[in-house]
Structure 1
């Protein structure tokens, strides 16, 4: 790999890491934001919802936009948007404005994730597998160290630091990207002559609007009812509108020529559907702990943001360490054994959470984090390998898009679960209840993977 390719890899990596970095740093800031804006946990959880809903929509849309406007233009535009959002978010006059800037930040960082891998594939032809593995390190490494960086920044500069830290990264990334990413080739005539009506049809704008409106309304109805401790007509109406919008979304996707989420694919390939359902459950487990444990440590056990970040570092490091080992194991034995062990580890970690109390030593917290971290490392490789085995080659692009959507849905559901279980504030009892629920989900995963292993020889 020549020097130009290495600099291109670094410039793309600096942009790509911003999305996982900002989605993970916030986990340590939730307790501080709750105190600053005087919100209950249900309300402050929208800082998580907003980012992942926006990412779930923006990444596939911006991937299609890059075909029309050019990958370099979209990547550079994403850096500008991320810069503006990171500068404005710390100056937010209210929590509502913070949510708005958080959504803008999510869109900007998603613009880079959606086209970053494509830029590497197109412009680095020498040792491409190594280049893609470096991109994976940028993505997974940023997510792994995000809570630690967030804890350090909040300890020294308050919550504003988790936004300001993006500014030098974005500035360096923009300068490098401007110099190293080759100019875009002119789009194909069919894309260049595409009208706005055709563009809206291609990205499935009606489907996106129904998906976003339905999800937000349903979440708002459920969380508002939990927050107020009673169910009113307004809560039922809001949740009902959300359900109706989601049903309309499914009907629309079945008829759309270019669907945002290809619903028909799930019915046609049941094995791929099973893998996506498992991936949703895995992400519910992982992110419930990822977002829930920092608030528990800070609000119940009064651990500082700095030490919370240090503890959370064990989760990311275990995940990073397990991934290459999982790759070699899966190459030899297939994804089945690794996925079964992952489910068992997450079940043990969930049961361990139930046994924890306010006097449990720090090593006890690390045991749970280690189990979930190793499990996540096995899953990150195993689920992807299982997807490639189950999806026909001619739809692998669609399958990968659906797979990423499943990840975001699992993350959103984990935030919903935390909001419902915790309600107004975090408590030791609520955290134990969360552990019980996670244990049930993890045991369901163990059963699904064990059943798959037993039934496979009979097929």
Structure 2
């Protein structure tokens, strides 16, 4: 067994820092727009029915880009994909100086989703490639930093966007991507080792047909999940048809985009994707439902709301950093499940007249699920996925996150309707409690989690 100094030498700050910046680009872009979308709508003359595309297009683009980019990283090398993704984000950030129409901004958000979606699976693949080349075990410390970077920016995003909108203008939620992407790009080019030479078989042509079928399935599914108040069942049927076609098509290929045979035989990996989806239903529904309810029903200021949400993701980031010191996977998942259940039960009890300290306690209850669950599921992906498919597997884990986020958004729309109420919040709470129980069940039945 290798000593901790070996891991520290292999994963110094110059290697890890740009990966953390890259991993943070997608979460920060997914939350910054929530604070700025109303202001953007006023400036471009668009109502909420059209500005919602600024939010949903990033989900759609990222959900497709992450596994596609992960597969490309597995084939041609993760460093190349990381560089390409960073360039896309930088270009979109530069274009933020000039684009001021709604659909132009929607197009920029799509490019940002594609670029940031490429960076995370490439970062995971770079970590796995470096550890395997040196014969090191899973670098929990590095995985913890990646999870902490994502959690921290989920919290900082709304606060940072509010500051930018009030001081320098809403355009800077786009422009900010330029310096961040250039910084991560420069550091990767300077400090990350080049991709290993690929064998001829690894350079086989990409499965474009499989990618197209996967994209069709995801787009149809996400459109269905965004309309849960009046479900368009025919769209769900279209998604199911794409999935059936994808499975049949991929089974006939030697090097498919989605290795359905491996997935079918790898039940632990499927359970991890299920847990990720369930966890993000709870986390995103809790975050956005509480943000709306605190302000509309309780009358808290945006600053107060931001400080309360900081208790979820800020404390969660600290717990993630602490949890990375340990190699066990099942215990943090069970702690996260209990945390989700506790937070949901407190949510079902509070009302608009409840004291602030009770709101703070409720947010703290959710913190372990944000920190420990995200880290443990990330560690599970690392050990359950085949080494040669780690990029694709990591990309699919982010797709699972966005599925959970969209389902959580649908739950909020279903429960709140036109205005957040105590009754709506309580309905969301009971839905989240049931979701948390399913998360716990998916943890208990996964025997592979006993491995370290």
TM interval, shorter chain, is 0.7 to 0.9
* TM-score where L is the length of structure 1: 0.78
In structure 1, C-alpha distance between the alignment counterparts of 2:289 and 2:374, rounded to whole Å:
21
User: Are residues 1:215 and 2:218 paired?
Assistant: yes
Q: Are residues 205 and 169 of structure 1, via their aligned partners in 2, closer, same or farther at CA, if it must alter by over 3 Å?
A: same
Alpha-carbon displacement from aligned partner over 1:150-209 (angstroms, at most 9, x marks no partner): 343334345433222223323433444444456667655556xx6xxx52xx3x322322
Match of 1:142?
Answer: 153
Alpha-carbon displacement from aligned partner over 1:116-145 (angstroms, at most 9, x marks no partner): 344456679899846665555444433343
User: Are residues 1:355 and 2:349 paired?
Assistant: yes
Where structure 1 has 5 or more consecutive residues not aligned to the other structure, the ranges are none
Answer with 120-129 or 95-104: which moved more.
120-129
Superposed, which structure 2 residues align to 1:20-59 within 5 Å? 20-29=27-36, 37-40=46-49, 45-59=52-66
Give the Å deviation of 1:76: 3.3
Residue 172 of structure 1, aligned match among 174, 183, 190: 183
Superposed, which structure 2 residues align to 1:9-408 within 5 Å? 9-29=16-36, 37-40=46-49, 45-66=52-73, 71-89=78-96, 92-119=99-126, 129=139, 134-181=145-192, 188-189=199-200, 199=205, 202=206, 204-221=207-224, 223=226, 226=229, 235=232, 237-327=234-324, 331=327, 334-386=328-380, 400=394, 402-408=396-402
Structure holding more helix per residue: 1
Provide the secondary structure at the position in 1 that maps to 2:48: coil
In structure 1, C-alpha distance between the alignment counterparts of 2:95 and 2:294, rounded to whole Å:
29
Contact 1:223 1:420 in 2 (8 A): no
In structure 2, C-alpha distance between the alignment counterparts of 1:263 and 1:66, rounded to whole Å:
19
Count of residue pairs the alignment pairs up: 436
Give the Å deviation of 1:438: 1.1
Q: Are residues 223 and 123 of structure 1, via their aligned partners in 2, closer, same or farther at CA, if it must alter by over 3 Å?
A: closer
In structure 1, C-alpha distance between the alignment counterparts of 2:155 and 2:165, rounded to whole Å:
17
Where structure 2 has 5 or more consecutive residues not aligned to the other structure, the ranges are 1-7
Contact 2:285 2:408 in 1 (8 A): yes
Q: Are residues 30 and 297 of structure 1, via their aligned partners in 2, closer, same or farther at CA, if it must alter by over 3 Å?
A: farther
Give the Å deviation of 1:379: 1.1
In structure 2, C-alpha distance between the alignment counterparts of 1:241 and 1:97, rounded to whole Å:
29
Contact 1:271 1:390 in 2 (8 A): yes
Contact 1:151 1:308 in 2 (8 A): no
In structure 2, C-alpha distance between the alignment counterparts of 1:11 and 1:343, rounded to whole Å:
31
Q: What CA RMSD, in Å, does the superposition of the two structures yield over aligned residues?
A: 4.0
* TM-score where L is the length of structure 2: 0.79
In structure 1, C-alpha distance between the alignment counterparts of 2:354 and 2:119, rounded to whole Å:
42
In structure 1, C-alpha distance between the alignment counterparts of 2:389 and 2:81, rounded to whole Å:
25
In structure 1, C-alpha distance between the alignment counterparts of 2:36 and 2:261, rounded to whole Å:
40
